[in-house]
Structure 1
Amino acid sequence: MRSFMVLSSLARLASLAVLAACTSTPVPETQVTADTAAKTTPFEAASHLWLEEVEGADALAWVTAQNARTLGELEADPRYAGFEAAALQVLNSSERIPYGSVRDGYVYNFWQDEVNVRGLWRRTTAASYRTQAPAWETILDFDKLAADEGKNWVFKGADCFRPEAGAKYSCLLSLSDGGKDAVVNREFDIDTKSFVDGGFVTAEAKQGLAWAGADTLLIATDWGAGTVTESGYPFVVKRWTRGAPPESAAEVIRGKMTDVGVWPMVMKLDDGRVLQGAVQAETFFTSKYFWLPDGEEGAVQWPIPLKSSPKGIYKGQFLFSLEQDWTPEGLGAFKAGDLVAFELEAFLSTRTLPSVSLVFRPTETQAVDGVAVAKGAALLAISDNVVGKVLRLEPSANGWTTTPVDLPGAGQVSIAFSDEEETAVFLNYEDFLTPSSLLDYDIATGAVTTIKSLPAKFDTAGLKVGQFFATSKDGTKVPYFIIHRADMKLDGTTPTLLYGYGGFQVSMTPAYSAVMGRNWLVQGGAYVMANIRGGGEFGPNWHQAGLKLNRQRIYDDFIAVGEDLVTRKVTAPEHLGIMGGSNGGLLMGVMLNQRPDLWRAVVVQVPLLDMLRYHLLLAGASWVDEYGSPDLPEERAFLETISPYQNFDPSKDYPVPFFVTSTKDDRVHPGHARKLAKRFEEAGLPFYYFENMDGGHAAAADQTARAKRSALEYTYLARQLTGRPD
């Protein structure tokens, strides 16, 4: 167990998801009652709500027909087979870095390939891990488990607790049926490689668990009627003792149904103490953190701002980042984006805010990406003009010092592994044209060495990367990266794919994509990544500039990047395509309506599209802090101006869109994509539609499904943007 753990903190969920947004349990919003109908237009209530019935017979019949039509056309394209084969070769290749977690001299890894479709949980010794061919020991085969139990199990991770050095680990495995966010947790014995007879087992739900001791869990889950929020998250945390039925667990903290959710939180200190607690997310971006002192009733709230995020404990200092300006009484002023700290024991003894120190203040072009605490070191990952850097942090009598860590280049760096109980620290480096390298950071010397690096998976000869700035409608300079052939002619003929997200403070950073490289760059296309507002590239203010009524700024930024590409004659509208997923899928829907003339291809992945009902569907209620509430007149009035579903106009000359979603997505409701696609169908306008029956919010549960989805998308893009239908 990591000694600092905040399970399922909402602000962090946004950054963990590949297609970010949040999770929820299904609720009966698909039943059209007088209340729900009043919140829709008569058109919606009369015609399309049946498509929100996820497993409804009529809805699935429509989905099946659309899938058959789309697959029949795209798979028949002679390019499809090559795209799929190229993607499969990458995704199933054994030449992948086996990222893992270190525990007591072993490295634990989850691995999928063409043979192990659902994957293996395995381990090897730390020494073997550093060799070219580690000797892996299989702990659990999920394909076999799924076959034995008749389930489509998707592994969602392991949470292990060791009470003291050398003692036996207790592990909880999270398993999802079909890739949903809802999981079951089951206790597993690593030594016997079997589930623990009579061990902890939870019912399927959106849940959070934390080890409070070897025989005690803090658990937040669906306890029955009236125990989940309007967003479908749990808001009651209980303490559950080994051997007792879950219904006997004692309640330790309760939130409100109007919260986003409440989850367990624990901190394991250097002396072995485990501080029990919880995080109450009142909104998506505001949370209260609580400590539950041993032997006492009631909770003690941590004295930190609502918009802040705990980062860990280092040398007795409690580190947290700020997403808002903060002036604690008598302690000076801090800015949104700052990393700050105070002495933990001082708070535990007085239960009031101690003196707060500034650890790191980003410049206008920087942002704090993350903090990693290992046994003997603390590292800070930052973004500097959308380029990753790592700094080592140390407290001193004169304040905190930072020392740069040497990295291979100007790309993306992330902290792949650290744990307060381990001295191992792994970093990952990559950029658009450089495959990932796993780096070892030596705490004692500060040296960085390469443990593993991937060979090139596509030909980068003749390719170059550039960073440019577009000017948005309000004068803001918006950066974007472009990867293209060095000899690209500026004549407007280059097929160009523009990707964007713009929400939830999620940053878009340089990353190596062999699938995109093979199926797009090598084919002569250019790829563009837009760093529009709403993301976290320049800290909290860059994100907050596009919240709620200011969201049009995000869309203006994206349009500005598209127009800049045309102005610079990189491409032209007939060769320009765009792509985005989840919140980025909403961006795509807005772009369909606001600038249908600027693009010829639009890939709309697992999208939000009905912004007048999104808060009634699955986790939608948790996102009102980002988008605004359709129940508030002023915010509804704005949402009416951008909502892709309501703003569809059958008389417009739309580009042919491609909608991609998943039946098993219990995060963003598939009804969004279904309903807008249905409007295209009713208007007699061409569109493509593919709904994977498994896969959750990623729209794919295994490598084969990922390759298929990718091949469909690139086939569509090639047909639309190269001027050659086949």
Structure 2
Amino acid sequence: MRNDGAQDLSPEPEDENLWLEDIHGEKQLAWVKEQNAKTLDRFRDGLFDSLAGDLRTALDSDDRIPMVAKLGDHYFNFWRDKTNPKGVWRRTTWESYLTESPDWEILLDLDELGRVEETPWVWAGAMVRRSDRRRALVLLSPDGGDAHRVREFDLQSKTFVDGGFNIPSAKTRLAWLDDDTLLVATETDEDSLTTSSYPRQARVLKRGQDVSEAQIVAEVPRDHVAIFLGSDISPEAEHTDRAVIIDAIDFFNTSTSVLDIDEVRGMDGALSQEPSAWEKALTTVDVPSNVEVGVERDFVLFRPQSEWNSETVTVPAGGLAIADIAEVRAGTIAPRVIFAPDAHTALQSFTWTRGFLVLELLSDVQSELVVLDPNDDFSARPLSGVPANHMVGLGAVDRHDESTANDFWMISTGFLTPSTLSHGRLGEDGFDAEVIKSAPALFPAEGLSVEQHFATSADGTKVPYFQIGAEGLELDGANPTLLDGYGGFELSRTPAYSPVVGIGWLGRTTSAGRRGVYVLANIRGGGEYGPAWHTSAMRENRMRCYEDYAAVARDLIDRGVTSPTSLACAGGSNGGLLVGNMLTQYPQLFGAISCGVPLLDMRRYTKLSAGYSWKAEYGDPDVAEDWEFIRAFSPYHLLADDTDYPPVLFWTATSDDRVGPVQARKMAARMQSKGVADVWFYEDTQGGHAAASDNEQTAFTRALSYRFLWNTLTGE
């Protein structure tokens, strides 16, 4: 550190592959094309095509549960299948939805739209206005990336509105304020974006107005991550219309402001054009920046990332507290704790119906549901019947409709259990639920079982993991095993039915009769045990998540489940960074590695795509003090000469505007230049951060990963 208080800047190491950072350059794409050809020539054969076909069939299955969102009298769904690879947006009635073959009204056919407009549009969502349910804002990505175009759509004529809202492709955030007004954060010029490439200005956009001329009602500094928006608008007379504006300082620190829409409405109901009126109606919630804030009806909810000592009570990290919104707006915050975690149990999410608050908890990565009653001093009662090694999620149907005010959807799923959808209703005396849809089994699960184990990490921490494999598994180290994980951004990995994993791995059998074993590790950096589980592996403590993952690998080997030559690992995005560190720091533990849409060059990650927004998670490599610990988990800089690395496949997408394809390109190029054998690379041109914009692409990229891993471990 310099004496003048400024931070020393770390010099950038020599990088012979900077030329590959030109994502769409002719020379660069020629390199990609050559790499793709080599990889497909090696792994695309009859078995690959068969696997990709099976995955595509499962993903396109007409027997999948069509999940719906209720708006008014209709239930909306977006659906992809073999006939409609890009998908259709559609709706039906409740009576029809309950039948085995609902009668769907097609609202928008993306395949047809793409043909007419000569653009391969990818669905990014829709926002139906609640006043009359007649108009919607449809979000469409031109290539599957995070940037999307916003167009107003008429649900009666099933056409885009001539002269309606139409915002060019950008990483736009928006919300309805009334029938003719939006709250919008989008790109208008260079000054409208943060360094992380996200919008930083909130504007009030009137119908027919150019977005660049819309009034700015809030903005955040350029070095913050983004500005986020939301609104809760309803025609109900007793409902208070509000909007929420969030200044995302970094990934884990925010400042939330509440905008009371009624205060900027005139006697005629029109929204004010006076900036001072909007400023007066905006209240910033005065809490520490690491306290997450939510607004629901007349309540403000608080979930701190670390212990919060308010003036009236101490709220534990990962706890949930609540206060009256009138008091908050008056500058008096006196929260009361309505949930406190313990060493084994963490709050994952919560859902409101009109009369109840439902908490979704994890207890040692086992699902629990608890219902709180605001009308009975937030008294709590558990929802029983959640089976072990399964996840149960609950969401409100439509609290704005009196007939469904306390109705809920319940999704139950497990590694070997296809999902079921139940519909129920909460009441003061309990609840009742009925299964209304069940997904079919899409891979053979007979003879398989699910177990939970705990490995001991380098510092003594117990790390849970799920193991799915044959009943009575022979523990001789010869089982082909795939280790999965993520370990970042407080994202929890939990049991779920995946036909891709089932068909691609669990359903495979070696010539010796061994079935694939799949393992999911719940390492630090995730949120399985709440914020502390995450923060304990951030920045200078990042190595803990890699030590946890290696500990699970060693435990599998020590228990005889597998051996290094029979153990593979796979991960994407932050999970790609995870397995990149397995490749460079623990190569002796693995026989194959699949590294998807990854972070790998941690010296330049803040300069690539949206990487600047992740500094809170990893640190700032431009600061010499941070680079000292970041370099210890930067796979691109950990590559060494004369080291035996396991075979590796890097896969990514040209259109990924979140992580970008650059890091995978450079890592593959550097390894190949060092003469490392079995380094493979594949880059899809579309698909965004998922490297897949439809089921066909998903099936193709996942088939490539599984074909590579299985062939490398088994030789088959």
**Residue 151 (str. 1) matches residue 142 (str. 2):** no
CA distance, structure 1, for counterparts of residue 107 and residue 375 of structure 2: 44
CA contact (8 A) 1:417 1:427 kept: no
The counterpart of 2:241, out of the listed 266, 274, 277, is 274
CA contact (8 A) 2:60 2:81 kept: yes
What per-residue deviation string (whole Å, max 9, x for no partner) do you get for residues 589-620 of structure 1? 11111111100110101000000000111111
CA distance, structure 2, for counterparts of residue 224 and residue 550 of structure 1: 38
* SS of 2:628 mapped into structure 1: helix
How many residues align? The count is 676
Instruction: Write the mapping of 1:238-253 to structure 2, written as runs, cut at 5 A.
Output: 238-253=203-218
CA distance, structure 2, for counterparts of residue 537 and residue 213 of structure 1: 39
The counterpart of 1:435, out of the listed 402, 418, 430, is 418
CA distance, structure 2, for counterparts of residue 586 and residue 133 of structure 1: 43
CA contact (8 A) 2:233 2:241 kept: yes
CA distance, structure 1, for counterparts of residue 254 and residue 134 of structure 2: 31
Residue type of the partner of 1:339?
A: L
The counterpart of 1:326, out of the listed 305, 308, 320, is 308
**Residue 191 (str. 1) matches residue 156 (str. 2):** yes
The counterpart of 2:71, out of the listed 77, 95, 103, is 103
CA distance, structure 2, for counterparts of residue 265 and residue 353 of structure 1: 24
Give the drift of 1:168.
4.1
Partner of 1:223: 188
CA contact (8 A) 1:311 1:320 kept: yes
Partner of 1:68: 37
CA distance, structure 1, for counterparts of residue 487 and residue 296 of structure 2: 31
**Residue 55 (str. 1) matches residue 24 (str. 2):** yes
Residue type of the partner of 2:475?
A: L
What per-residue deviation string (whole Å, max 9, x for no partner) do you get for residues 186-213 of structure 1? 0111111111111111011111101111
CA distance, structure 2, for counterparts of residue 454 and residue 649 of structure 1: 48
Give the drift of 1:441.
2.2
* SS of 1:425 mapped into structure 2: strand
| Unpaired stretches in structure 1, ≥5 consecutive residues | 1-36
Partner of 2:257: 290
Partner of 2:227: 262
Give the drift of 1:320.
3.1
CA distance, structure 1, for counterparts of residue 442 and residue 89 of structure 2: 25
Partner of 2:374: 395
Residue type of the partner of 2:417?
A: T
CA distance, structure 2, for counterparts of residue 394 and residue 439 of structure 1: 21
* SS of 1:566 mapped into structure 2: helix
* SS of 1:155 mapped into structure 2: strand
Partner of 1:355: 334
Name the CA shift for 1:396/1:425 in 2 (closer, same or farther; >3 Å): closer
* TM value normalised by structure 2: 0.92
Residue type of the partner of 1:657?
A: V
Partner of 2:664: 673
* SS of 2:638 mapped into structure 1: coil
Partner of 2:589: 598
Give the drift of 1:312.
4.3
Residue type of the partner of 1:507?
A: S
* TM value normalised by structure 1: 0.91
Instruction: Write the mapping of 1:298-377 to structure 2, written as runs, cut at 5 A.
Output: 298=279, 299-313=282-296, 316-329=298-311, 331-348=312-329, 350=330, 352-377=331-356
Give the drift of 1:467.
0.5
**Residue 713 (str. 1) matches residue 705 (str. 2):** yes
CA distance, structure 1, for counterparts of residue 585 and residue 210 of structure 2: 55
Give the drift of 1:629.
0.5
CA contact (8 A) 1:180 1:697 kept: yes
Residue type of the partner of 1:210?
A: A
CA contact (8 A) 1:39 1:613 kept: no
The counterpart of 2:382, out of the listed 404, 429, 434, is 404
**Residue 614 (str. 1) matches residue 605 (str. 2):** yes
CA contact (8 A) 1:206 1:221 kept: yes
Give the drift of 1:689.
1.0
* SS of 2:128 mapped into structure 1: strand
Partner of 1:553: 544
CA distance, structure 1, for counterparts of residue 83 and residue 161 of structure 2: 27
CA contact (8 A) 1:372 1:418 kept: no
CA distance, structure 1, for counterparts of residue 284 and residue 572 of structure 2: 36
What per-residue deviation string (whole Å, max 9, x for no partner) do you get for residues 541-588 of structure 1? 000000100001111000000000000011000000001110000011
CA distance, structure 1, for counterparts of residue 233 and residue 606 of structure 2: 37
* SS of 2:554 mapped into structure 1: helix
* SS of 2:168 mapped into structure 1: coil
**Residue 87 (str. 1) matches residue 70 (str. 2):** no
**Residue 425 (str. 1) matches residue 403 (str. 2):** no
**Residue 628 (str. 1) matches residue 619 (str. 2):** yes
Bigger mean CA offset, 224-233 vs 490-499 = 224-233
What per-residue deviation string (whole Å, max 9, x for no partner) do you get for residues 322-357 of structure 1? 22211111x121101111111123334x2x133211
CA distance, structure 2, for counterparts of residue 497 and residue 277 of structure 1: 42
Residue type of the partner of 1:182?
A: A
CA contact (8 A) 2:164 2:208 kept: yes
CA contact (8 A) 2:357 2:374 kept: no
Give the drift of 1:360.
1.1
Partner of 2:553: 562
CA distance, structure 2, for counterparts of residue 218 and residue 95 of structure 1: 39
Bigger mean CA offset, 542-551 vs 678-687 = 678-687
CA contact (8 A) 1:664 1:694 kept: yes
What per-residue deviation string (whole Å, max 9, x for no partner) do you get for residues 285-334 of structure 1? 100011235342524211333123334425x33223222211111x1211
The counterpart of 2:526, out of the listed 521, 525, 535, is 535
Give the drift of 1:105.
2.2
CA distance, structure 1, for counterparts of residue 233 and residue 278 of structure 2: 20
CA distance, structure 1, for counterparts of residue 408 and residue 561 of structure 2: 42
CA contact (8 A) 2:81 2:87 kept: yes
What per-residue deviation string (whole Å, max 9, x for no partner) do you get for residues 421-475 of structure 1? 1424212110111000111121345112111011211221111111111000000
CA contact (8 A) 1:180 1:665 kept: yes
> Relative contact order, CA 8 A, sep 6+: which one is greater?
1
Name the CA shift for 1:120/1:39 in 2 (closer, same or farther; >3 Å): farther
CA distance, structure 1, for counterparts of residue 106 and residue 667 of structure 2: 45
What per-residue deviation string (whole Å, max 9, x for no partner) do you get for residues 467-522 of structure 1? 11100000000000000101321100000000010000000100111221122112
CA contact (8 A) 2:650 2:682 kept: yes
Partner of 1:471: 456
CA distance, structure 1, for counterparts of residue 543 and residue 67 of structure 2: 39
CA distance, structure 1, for counterparts of residue 148 and residue 468 of structure 2: 39
CA contact (8 A) 1:483 1:528 kept: yes
CA contact (8 A) 1:536 1:543 kept: yes
The counterpart of 2:573, out of the listed 578, 582, 590, is 582
Partner of 1:5: none
* SS of 2:314 mapped into structure 1: coil
CA contact (8 A) 1:101 1:417 kept: no
The counterpart of 1:138, out of the listed 106, 113, 130, is 106
The counterpart of 1:702, out of the listed 680, 694, 708, is 694
